[in-house]
């Protein structure tokens, strides 16, 4: 019976007609859309006579699947999931869908309610906001630590300017490389905020040692910088080496982190 229904309801190419200069495509509706169109279908032959579908079954119009049903807030509902294509920005996609909802609601009967039951961007927006707050707290703590331990206003002003400029410069490079902000990139920025001033703190502390010994600022910088240069390079190289494996990771890490926020 299934084979007979499938063969009688197949959407197959119809062919074409053509001459030397023109070609006409043949098209016809060969789909069975009403119950009465299925009733006379021959599904088998018995004793030399055709057995029609109406002889062995009651053909009626109904739903496609009688064993599944959908509910939302205790009411019968039809669920529809909307997903983004690979490479698309999920935040922008959801915002555009939300902007279209009023137009969609106006095009359906008033007895039908169009509601959003699940929005994946809610947790994404919350996590990104938390990381943004963490970055602000990190920058503030870095500046406070420098001021508390060095007790020097000028030494505090320099990192407080260098850190925001470094972050802005990073955003510029990300924009040129067509990268987007996501949880991983924001987490990396929050971690690197401390790295930005690590080397500066080490150099300033060594120079301050010579200043306290009575040397002039130029002499202190000339003596202190070369002494700590290899240490600074070693620290930077070790930090870079630690995070190099992240560049080689793929799979689910890329899927979960890509395009959560547009630049």
pLDDT in tens, 130-152: 888 887 887 788 788 878 877 77
Q: What is the mean pLDDT of residues 184-188?
A: 77
Residue 8 pLDDT more than 80? no
What average pLDDT is seen over the chain?
80
What contacts 74, CB < 8 A, 6 or more positions away?
none
pLDDT digits over 159-176, tens only? 778 778 888 888 888 888
Per-residue DSSP letters for 185-222?
HHHHHHHHHHHHHHHHHHHHHHHHHHHHTT--HHHHHH
Q: Which CATH class is domain 121-257?
A: mainly alpha
- Compute the average pLDDT of residues 169-197: 78
Q: Is the separation of the CB atoms in 224 and 204 below 8 Å?
A: no
Interval 14-29: pLDDT, tens:
788 888 888 888 877 6
- 190 neighbors 135 (Cβ within 8 angstroms): yes
pLDDT over 70 at 231, yes or no? yes
Which residue has tokens 């703590």?
Answer: 141
Cα Dmax for the chain: 119
Does residue 35 contact residue 61 with C-beta atoms inside 8 Å? Answer: yes
Domain assignments of the chain as residue spans, ordered by start: 2-56, 71-106, 121-257
What's the confidence (pLDDT) of residue 260?
Answer: 37
């Amino acid at each position: 019976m299934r084979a007979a229904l499938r063969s009688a309801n197949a959407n197959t190419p119809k062919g074409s007609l053509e001459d030397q200069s023109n070609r006409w495509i043949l098209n016809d509706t060969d789909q069975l859309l009403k119950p009465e169109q299925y009733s006379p279908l021959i599904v088998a032959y018995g004793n030399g006579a055709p057995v029609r579908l109406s002889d062995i079954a009651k053909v009626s119009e109904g739903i496609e699947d009688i064993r599944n049903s959908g509910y939302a807030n205790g009411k019968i509902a039809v669920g529809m999931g909307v997903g983004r294509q690979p490479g698309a920005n999920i935040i922008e996609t959801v915002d555009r869908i939300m902007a279209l909802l009023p137009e969609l609601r106006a095009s359906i009967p008033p007895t039908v309610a169009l509601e959003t039951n699940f929005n994946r961007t809610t947790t994404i927006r919350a996590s990104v906001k938390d990381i943004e707050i963490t970055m602000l707290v990190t920058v503030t703590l870095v500046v406070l630590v420098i001021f508390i331990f060095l007790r020097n206003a000028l030494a505090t002003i320099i990192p407080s300017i260098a850190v925001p400029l470094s972050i802005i410069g990073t955003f510029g490079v990300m924009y040129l490389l067509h990268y987007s902000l996501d949880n991983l990139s924001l987490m990396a920025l929050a971690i690197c905020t401390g790295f930005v001033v690590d080397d500066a703190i080490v150099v300033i502390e060594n120079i301050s040692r010579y200043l306290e010994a009575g040397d002039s600022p130029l002499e202190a910088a000339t003596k202190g910088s070369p002494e700590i240069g290899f240490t600074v390079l070693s620290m930077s190289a070790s930090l870079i080496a630690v995070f190099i494996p992240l560049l080689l990771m793929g799979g689910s890490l890329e899927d979960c982190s890509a395009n959560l926020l547009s630049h």
